[in-house]
């Protein structure tokens, strides 16, 4: 009998997660069975239960394999806000990085689409809802922390509590991503996102570097008669 190695087990786990990503995106989470995933991965249903407790556990493992756009960038922002020369620009850059990652990384886009458009929070997926809420709350809390540091540095008074301002910024970025995923050809996620985030931060009273004016084309030279 051939003895399976850790590398074999990890390869099987990855193939199951790969299959789940594509099937969830194509058919939705509720319409994809564990048998479907096992068959697509070229293994058995028993292999799924060896690695995952249930569909929700498999789903969350799929999510954890890809750092969601706002999770990774905001974690770095929160750690660096106090030591940064400009915590506001650091926060804005983290938002732009999240939009850029979504627009340019295929796996991030696929997993984010599954997480936002292809999952129903039915009873068997309660653990997924709990994780979604946990991540949302962490992102808002890290945004609030960065905003508070930026307020302290610029000595301004926000027109609303920092917690409300942080939630609003999170909703803007999250909403932009969700709407773009519905039709990626509808608008430029990175360009429109930058304008929207800048307008929101300016509306809160922050001072942002002026955008560079577009270079005017050189006047056409008259053709010789």
Q: Taking the CA atoms of 153, 159, 160 and 165 in sequence, report the sign of the dihedral they define.
A: negative
| Joined tokens for residue 141 | 């809390």
Report the top-level CATH class of 66-203: mainly alpha
Q: Which pLDDT band holds residue 75 (cuts at 50, 70, 90)?
A: low
- For residue 77, is pLDDT > 70? no
Give this prediction's pTM: 0.75
Q: What is the mean pLDDT of the chain?
A: 84
- For residue 69, is pLDDT > 60? no
pLDDT in tens, 13-55: 999 999 999 999 999 998 999 999 999 999 999 999 999 999 9
| Joined tokens for residue 104 | 């340019």
Share of the chain above pLDDT 90, in %: 48
DSSP string, the chain: -PPPPHHHHHHHHHHHHHHHHHHHHHH-STT--HHHHHHHHTS-HHHHHHH-SSHHHHHHHHHHHS--HHHHHHHHHHHHTTTSS-HHHHHHHHHHHHHHHHHH-HHHHHHHHHHHHS----GGGHHHHHHHHHHHHHHHHHHHHHHHHHHHHHT---SS-HHHHHHHHHHHHHHHHHHHHH-TTSS-HHHHHHHHHHHHHHHTT---PPPPPPPPPPPPPPPP-
The per-residue pLDDT for 2 is 47
Q: The domain at 10-54 falls in which architecture?
A: Orthogonal Bundle (1.10)
Q: Which pLDDT band holds residue 73 (cuts at 50, 70, 90)?
A: low
Token pair 């999510």 in the structure block, residue: 63
| C-alpha to C-alpha distance for 188 and 49, rounded to whole angstroms | 41
| C-alpha to C-alpha distance for 13 and 24, rounded to whole angstroms | 16
Q: Taking the CA atoms of 197, 201, 86 and 158 in sequence, report the sign of the dihedral they define.
A: negative
- For residue 142, is pLDDT > 90? no
The per-residue pLDDT for 104 is 92
pLDDT in tens, 167-211: 999 999 989 999 999 999 999 999 999 999 999 999 999 988 654
For CATH 1.10.10.60, list the domain ranges present in the chain: 10-54
More confident residue, 202 or 213: 202
Cβ atoms < 10 Å from Cβ of 107: 11
Q: Which pLDDT band holds residue 83 (cuts at 50, 70, 90)?
A: low
Residues 6+ apart with CB under 8 A from 131: 60, 63
For CATH 1.10.357.10, list the domain ranges present in the chain: 66-203
| In contact, 75 and 43? CB cutoff 8 Å | no
Residue among 181, 188, 207, 6 nearest 92 (CA): 207
The per-residue pLDDT for 126 is 84
The per-residue pLDDT for 220 is 45
The per-residue pLDDT for 87 is 85
Following CA atoms 184, 189, 192, 197 in sequence, which dihedral angle do they give, to the nearest 10 degrees?
140
Q: Which pLDDT band holds residue 214 (cuts at 50, 70, 90)?
A: very low
The per-residue pLDDT for 116 is 83
């Amino acid at each position: 009998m051939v003895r399976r190695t850790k590398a074999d087990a990890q390869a099987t786990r990855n193939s199951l997660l790969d299959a789940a990503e594509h099937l969830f995106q194509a058919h939705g989470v509720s319409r994809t069975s564990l048998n479907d995933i096992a068959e697509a991965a070229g293994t058995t249903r028993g292999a799924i239960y060896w690695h995952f407790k249930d569909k929700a556990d498999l789903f969350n493992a799929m999510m954890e394999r890809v750092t969601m756009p706002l999770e990774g960038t905001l974690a770095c922002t929160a750690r660096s806000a106090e030591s940064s020369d400009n915590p506001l620009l650091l926060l804005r850059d983290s938002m732009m990085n999240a939009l850029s990652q979504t627009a340019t990384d295929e796996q991030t886009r696929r997993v984010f689409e599954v997480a936002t458009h292809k999952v129903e929070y039915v009873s068997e997926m309660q653990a997924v809802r709990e994780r979604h809420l946990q991540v949302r709350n962490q992102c808002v809390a890290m945004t609030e922390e960065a905003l508070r540091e930026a307020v302290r540095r610029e000595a301004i008074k926000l027109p609303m509590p920092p917690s409300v301002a942080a939630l609003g910024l999170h909703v803007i970025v999250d909403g932009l991503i969700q709407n773009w995923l519905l039709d990626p050809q509808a608008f430029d996620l990175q360009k429109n996102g930058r304008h929207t985030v800048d307008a929101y931060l300016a509306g809160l009273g922050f001072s942002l570097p002026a955008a560079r004016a577009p270079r005017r084309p050189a006047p056409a030279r008259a053709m010789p008669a």
